[in-house]
Amino acid sequence: MRSVYDGVKALAAVRPVAADAAATAIAIDTLGYNSAMFVVKNGAATGTPTSYTVDGKVQECATSGGSYADVSGAVITQITADNKSAQIRVEGLGTSRLRYLKLIITPAMTGGTSPKALISGTALLGRAYKNPVGNSATGA
């Protein structure tokens, strides 16, 4: 019997970090998959900012170390509160999308003492051309 575990591969797209600027993104190799979903997560902000926002977008490139460009429409509605998440869907892998994707998460803070946003991102690759044998790797 097949389950979601057999058809989806989960990878770290942005490792958990307390950030006040764009977080380090990990290149996600989408070879062999038809779709991707990125989950942007934030925790409670530190340093008591008066306000903050978290933006997220997906970029693509033909090579893992090349120059990445924004994927049109692959953005989240700005997160403006603690402990929220948002999703970005990317379709057309292997056809209209380039092979490597990156999730860019950028917090912006106002006020506070050295404020930082607790952020992370996950990539879920699905609809594999050939289902993965297992999903033992949860990190990139």
Residue 24 confidence (pLDDT): 85
Q: Where are the domains of the chain?
A: 4-128
Whole-number average pLDDT of the chain: 88
Model pLDDT for residues 36-67, shown as the tens digit of each residue: 999 999 999 999 999 999 999 999 999 999 99
- Whether the per-residue pLDDT at 94 is higher than 80: the answer is yes
Give the closest residue to 101 by CA, choosing from 140, 58, 137, 51.
58
Is CATH 3.40.50.12780 the classification given to domain 4-128? no
The residue ranking higher by pLDDT, 52 or 132, is 52
- Window from 87-101, 102-116, 117-131 with minimum mean pLDDT: 117-131
Mean pLDDT over 19-42 rounds to: 92
The residue ranking higher by pLDDT, 71 or 135, is 71
Mean pLDDT over 79-107 rounds to: 94
Contacts 24+ apart (CB under 8 A), 84-89: 84/41, 84/42, 85/39, 85/40, 85/41, 85/42, 86/39, 86/40, 86/56, 87/37, 87/38, 87/39, 87/40, 88/37, 88/38, 88/40, 88/56, 88/57, 88/58, 89/35, 89/36, 89/37
